[in-house]
Structures are given as C-alpha cells and as structure tokens.
Amino acid sequence: MAAENGTPGAGRRLAVLGAGVMGSGIAALAVGHGVAVSLIDLDRRRLAEAPTRIGHQLRTARLLGALPDGAVPGALVTGLSLADLVTAAAPPTAVIEAVTEDPDAKAKVLADVCALVAPGTPIISNTSAIPIDELAGAMARPVDLIGTHFMNPPYLIRTVEVIRGTHTGEATLDALRALLAALRRQSIVVDDAPGFVTSRLLHPMINDAVRVVAAGTANAESVDLLMQGCLGHPTGPLRTADLIGLDNLVDSLWVLHSRTGDDGCRPCDLLLEMVRAGHLGRKSGRGFYEYEGEQA
C-alpha cells in the first residue's frame, strides 16, 4: 500500500491481541508508522492503561528519531473482544497475537481469531520460543499462520525474527514481509524450531548469567559490564533479562527445556525466586536492577 505524506503504513489496519508489554510496544510501532490499530485485551485495567503507555512510547520514539518524518499517526481503538472490533466494512489487514507465552493460551486465541477473520488474513503469533507448527494444530487454516519475534522495545529495534512454519503459505509470508517493510523493519526469515534462533541462543546464556550471580562469582552489574566491554553485548544479559521480563524469560525457558531436553534451559533457582517475589524486571520496577518510576 502506498505511503501518504511520509506515512508508510497509511491504509493498513492491524488488530493486536494483548495489551501487555509486547502488545503495547507493537501497537506503538504500528501507530507511529500510520497503521490503524485495534488493541484487544480481556484485562480492563491493562486495556485502560494502554493508550497512555503507547503515547509515552510514541513520544520517546519521536525524540530518538525512530519514526518517519511527517508521519501521521494511525488511529488507536481498544476493546475487550476482537469480535466487537472486526467488521466487514473495515477488516484487519493482519492480526498479531501477543498474549502470554503459554502454548494453550496462544492456541485458543489463534483458533478464535481464525474463526473470525477472512481466509487469507495473515495471523501472526508473536512468540519467543513456542514452535509455530505446534500452534498451527489449533487452527482451521494453518496456511494463514506465521510467527514473529519482535524484540523489546519494538519501536527501537529494527530487526524482526520471522518464523515460517511448515504449513505457512507464501502469500502469508509475503504479506508479513510487506507489513514489516511498511513499519521500516528488517525481516529475517528462519525455519521453525523451539526458540528459533534468538531465544535458543540468548535465553540459556541469560540463565547461565543468573547462575553466575547466584554462585556469588560476580554481581549483576559486573556480569553485564564484562559482557559489554569484553564481548560486545549491547546491554549485558541481565539488563536484557529485565527488559524481556523475568516471568516471560522463565516461560520461554520452560518451553525450551520441555521441547529440547537441554538441562541448561531449566530456569535456575534464583530466577524462579525472583519471579515468585514479583521482581519481574523493568515492568515491575525491580529485577536485577531498580527502575523507580520506569514501569512499562
């Protein structure tokens, strides 16, 4: 679709399911590039807070030059049900599912979406570890399903991992590539596997970094500084963990552990203790670091 007035996503309509950290971040990215977004979540409080969070992300993105010059923001509407927001007069160009990293929850949402949208509408599961073919089993039209792994925050990180399942149609892949291009994102397409590329490499490494802290070898800041200064990691594994969300990290590690048998993917005790204590990282205000007043 042609850009209008420097707005690359003009004319597109995106439904985003889940108004948590990733769903809101993806919505902010899309709105900032002129895409109209319907944001859906069953949690009334989270849904009510989402426009303010998205507005803050858009202001940050503009300050950092992460949005196209002259772009007219896309409209944002919120609702508790996709059925209430999907109409024959204005069907979504694509649907992005960004609910919790739980296979059963995702499978149910994807099955419901498949029954609501027209055949040929790309249905995109944003997941950090769950195999797309596993989720496709819940859908009447697995040809319409494809995976993405946006990195947090989506409005700043330009590369997106795209996961092609064995049933994913070429039209679905082409449509997702076109959507990401309109969002000025680079898509890297990989085949399906637990954790794909990024999480299969990164998440066990973070788990090992937490083990180093738990053993008392070094504190979190020292681990991150060494990984940054010696090995070129942009933020360090433990700041990255806080950005991902320690609860999301634990969920992804369990997915990897159960599907690969790799014991290095079993979440370490310190990580589990922090999640039980509600220290989830940046979004809760505390993880391996303190984030006073910075909750997402």
**Phi then psi dihedrals of residue 187, to 5 deg:** -100, 130
Q: What CA–CA distance (Å, rounded) separates 287 from 206?
A: 13
**Phi then psi dihedrals of residue 148, to 5 deg:** -130, 155
Q: Are 12 and 93 in contact (CB under 8 A)?
A: yes
Return the structure tokens found at 75: 């409209």
Q: Are 113 and 124 in contact (CB under 8 A)?
A: no
* Residue appearing with tokens 């399906």: 192
Q: Which of 149, 167, 233, 257 is catalytic?
A: 149
Q: What CA–CA distance (Å, rounded) separates 115 from 247?
A: 30
Tell me if residue 257 is catalytic: no
Q: Are 145 and 136 in contact (CB under 8 A)?
A: yes
Return the structure tokens found at 14: 């995106």
Catalytic residues: 149
